[in-house]
Amino acid sequence: MIDELAGRRLWIGIPGPRLDDAARRLLDEVRPGGVVLFARNDDSKAGLRALSADLRALLGDDLHVAVDQEGGLVVRFEREFMVWPGNMALGAASVREPSLGEHLAVEQGRLSAAELVSVGVDVNLAPVLDLASAEGSGIVSSRSFGSAPELVARLGAACVRGTLSGGVLPCLKHFPGLGYASSDPHLALAHLSGSRLEDALLPFERGIAEGAPLVMSTHLVVESIDPGVPATFSRAVMEGLLRERLGFRGVTLTDDLEMGALGGSEDFDEIVRAAAGTHDVLLVSHDADRQRRAARILSEEHAAGRFPRGGRAPLEERLASLRRPESEGVFDARRAAEVAEAIAGRSVTVIRDDRGLIPIEPETPVLILRLRTHARTEVEDPLRGVEPAVELAEALSACRPATEILETPPSDASLTALMDRALEYERVVLLLADPRSQAAEGALLEALAGRHPGCLVVLLRDPHGAALVPEDAGVAVLTPHGFRRLHIRALARVLQGDVAPYGRLPVEV
């Protein structure tokens, strides 16, 4: 028999958009305190509303239904939802006009929360408060507001205020800061040097002061605090740093315990036992067998009298403190569209254009190029199945665009043929997902930037890729800070000269 408190300490994922018999048996056995929804659970808003209602009918009204609805790069619900431009787009708009950026961040948080409330979701696993850095693994990229601690702290706090006012509980992540991490925790254990820790903590300190009730850790070793021990298992980080130094009194949540950083299924039981001593809630997103094992292990830990900070009673008090805030109103789709367009429209940033290639004159023949990039992890498609080259060709109404989408990596012969074709066009727009991590993109960038005098390099995910463009190449470099339809439409308006680029880089390149 699984201890009731053990179940409440588990937040788990379920397989599909409906509760089949297997899912009902699992949920009835584990009795989790939260269910985290993913794209696999989204078939429509009506379906999500029904699923949330079924979950609470089975597990009680106190059940938390959560989702990672960050905007931009990470969006779980897309079919009928507003897809927000994301954090770095907000950062780019805010660098030029801080008060406007903060207002837009509050509005995004409020409106996104109201839409989640409409389908029964009460927890958004956002905002991301990691600092963007060229030194990091690239896992953060446009998920961050930027590289300056004060900028990230200000916009993160604004998102917390907006999310709470919209009726949803926000969760600060990834504590103590993933932006400078040496690797992607989906794949391997990350490390953070002590010299970067102080900057990384400021956004969390500000988010906590705004009343954020949840903090998610990450599988990262802070060498200066607890050498060799991931934050997931570290009392020095989760208690000494987060609770004692930053004064956090809310609920702590692990990142998914199934990630490659922790060693995989062979060590899963020990992973759960170690995390159970440092966190209030454990997240096991995918595997039903591991979810059952985690519940049993937590029950055993409770029977042995082992609890996180303060013992059983304070743990129960913290979990009971997670009450859904009152919403300020119903979701206004029209207002949401206006705010999202305002963010995307103000985020397009021209990093370099020494030869005045922007705007492109009307009727100019334009070739739009892109490589199909591969996923760096099992859970990440670099462009989430979106085809920005096709979107851009449709949006460039004043030009005469053609598109070329290559499989990656291209052969030498196909690359030569591509270069010959590119030289037939006055302008070439090269769309890159992440040339720092995608070797084929880096190779194409090097080949094209050095040969085509009318090349415009568009960085869709990470503006740090601008460092790969030789300064003497004479090409233009710009970024819309994302690849969604909103970003591409805003990019097209700048390329055609309909509007002047407004955004400024929120990172150091």
Burial of 354-374, coded b for 16+ CB within 10 Å and e otherwise, reads eeebbbbeeebebbbbbbebe
CATH of the domain at 167: 3.20.20.300
Q: Does 434 map to a domain?
A: yes
Residues 380 and 488 in one domain: yes
* Domain that includes residue 398, residue range: 348-496
Q: Does 65 map to a domain?
A: no
Residues 310 and 364 in one domain: no
Are 35 and 26 spatial neighbours (Cβ–Cβ below 8 Å)? no
Residue 35 parent element (H or E)? strand 34-37
The full DSSP string for 228-265 is: T-BGGG-HIIIIIIIIIIS---SEEEPPPTTSGGGT-G
Number of helices and strands in the chain (H, E): 16, 18
What is the C-alpha separation between 338 and 336, in angstroms, rounded? 5
pLDDT at 265: 57
pLDDT at 267: 86
Residue from 64, 174, 186, 481 carrying the catalytic annotation: 186
Residue 7 parent element (H or E)? helix 4-8
Q: What is the DSSP letter of 431?
A: E
CATH of the domain at 448: 3.40.50.1700
> How many domains would you assign to the chain?
2
Residues 314 and 359 in one domain: no
* The 10-12 sheet, strands edge to edge: 251-253, 214-217, 169-175, 123-124, 64-67, 34-37, 10-12, 282-284
pLDDT at 384: 67
Q: Does 469 map to a domain?
A: yes
In degrees and rounded to multiples of 5, residue 201 shows phi and psi of: -80, -25
Tokens of 316: 């129960």
Residues 100 and 238 in one domain: yes
The full DSSP string for 182-232 is: SS-TTTS-EEE-GGGHHHHHHHHHHHHHTT--EEEE-SEEETTTSTT-BGG
Are 132 and 176 spatial neighbours (Cβ–Cβ below 8 Å)? no
Residues 272 and 358 in one domain: no
Are 274 and 232 spatial neighbours (Cβ–Cβ below 8 Å)? yes
pLDDT tens digits for range 254-307: 999 998 767 665 689 999 999 999 999 999 999 999 999 999 999 999 999 999
What is the C-alpha separation between 453 and 456, in angstroms, rounded? 9
Residues 230 and 368 in one domain: no
Residues 243 and 364 in one domain: no
Work out the angle at residue 228's Cα, subtended by the Cα atoms of residues 10 and 191, and round it to the nearest 5 degrees: 80
Mention every residue, 6+ apart, whose C-beta is less than 8 A from residue 285: 12, 13, 36, 38, 256, 258
Residues 114 and 209 in one domain: yes
Q: Does 342 map to a domain?
A: no
pLDDT at 187: 66
Residues 311 and 411 in one domain: no
Residues 148 and 254 in one domain: yes
Are 349 and 505 spatial neighbours (Cβ–Cβ below 8 Å)? yes
Q: Does 110 map to a domain?
A: yes
Q: Does 219 map to a domain?
A: yes
User: Which residue type occupies 33?
Assistant: G
pLDDT at 183: 65
pLDDT at 163: 98
> With a cut of 50, which residues of the chain have pLDDT below it?
378-379
Residues 400 and 315 in one domain: no
* Cα four-point dihedral sign 225, 260, 481, 369: positive
Residues 449 and 489 in one domain: yes
Q: Does 39 map to a domain?
A: no
Are 379 and 478 spatial neighbours (Cβ–Cβ below 8 Å)? no
> pTM of the prediction?
0.94
* Cα four-point dihedral sign 445, 384, 76, 275: negative
64 an active-site residue?
no
* Cα four-point dihedral sign 159, 161, 164, 169: positive
Q: Does 338 map to a domain?
A: no
